[in-house]
Amino acid sequence: MKQKWSDNPSHARLVIITGLSGSGMSSATNAFEDLGYFCIDNLPLTMLETFASLLKPNDEGVPAIERAALVVNIRERQFLAEFPSELASLQKEQLQPYVVFFEATDDVLQRRFSETRRPHPADSGKGLLRAIKSERKEMKDIRSKADMIIDTSEHSVHTLRRLILQKFSSSDEATPLKVQLLSFGHKYGTPRDLDLMFDVRHLPNPYFELSLRKLSGEDPKIIKYLKKSSDVVETIDRFAELLNYLLPFYKKEGKSYLTIGIGCTGGRHRSVMVANELVRRLKKTGFDISVVHRDMQK
């Protein structure tokens, strides 16, 4: 029986990623990097055992690398002939590799190669479909040695990432979602790369109160002025309710970062106060959240 770290893949310290060309191995590698694995794509088989030894404890009992994920596939010339013996050597060294085999249907692989216009590594000039079928046949024995087989036919990049995080995360939290609220003034331009944006220009504007104009949205006088308005209170309540509903879905999707813009006219009063209040409320529900006030000092 093949040795493994555990029947639970989240305990695997050495993951070998292999499979059919175009099946999503590179996309999977990105997810393993997010989980803290040291990743190498297309590692030569001759270096596999040497590299894997870095996972062994040194004289002080600490390994040079805690966890690694290595992509080894048909692009490596000696892969088909030497992979089984290299795998056996790792098992003898008690390195306990966990092999994940990626595949997809012929139709899906054809579409992916057609869309990317990349040549199939097994193409001998007899057409893409023939190359796909040939590789699938040649990889049959490798597939039989896998600890996990993942068919990516119905997966997008995002759903595949989520699957990897769920299977290999060492905790239920997987990759934490980091949320940033960004207050800004529309007259200075809308920030790039916002995932969500709320416009608060409908709220009472302290700018038109001469005694408040030079203050920022962090000043107690501005906060008191705005909270006197039922529109402000209701707006914050509704924004907070919506975000409390949406953020778990972004986290479930496997998103690592979410940026939410809060915009008013100048970015000095209303957007600052609303962003700060939302941060205060969302932190109470356990989200990893921070705030940046882009235009508050302008």
Q: Would you give per-residue pLDDT tens digits along the chain (298 residues)? A: 344 444 567 778 899 999 999 999 988 999 899 888 999 988 888 888 888 888 888 777 788 888 999 998 887 767 778 888 888 888 877 778 899 999 999 999 999 998 887 888 888 788 899 999 999 999 999 999 899 999 999 888 888 888 888 788 765 555 678 899 999 999 999 988 899 999 999 999 999 999 999 999 999 999 999 999 999 999 999 999 999 999 998 887 777 789 999 999 999 999 999 999 999 999 988 888 999 999 999 8
Q: In terms of Cα–Cα distance, which of 3, 1, 8 is closest to 92? A: 3
Rounded CA-CA distance 189/274 in Å is 19
**How many C-beta atoms lie closer than 10 Å to residue 155's C-beta?**
20
pLDDT score recorded for residue 77: 66
CA dihedral 144, 146, 152, 153 (to 10 degrees): 10
pTM here?
0.62
Q: Tell me which residue has tokens 């290299």.
A: 86
pLDDT score recorded for residue 2: 44
Q: In terms of Cα–Cα distance, which of 183, 182, 181 is closest to 265? A: 183
The number of helices, as runs of H, and strands, as runs of E, in the chain is 10, 9
Rounded CA-CA distance 120/237 in Å is 54
**Residue 73 CB partners (closer than 8 Å, separation 6+):** 18, 19, 21, 25, 42, 79
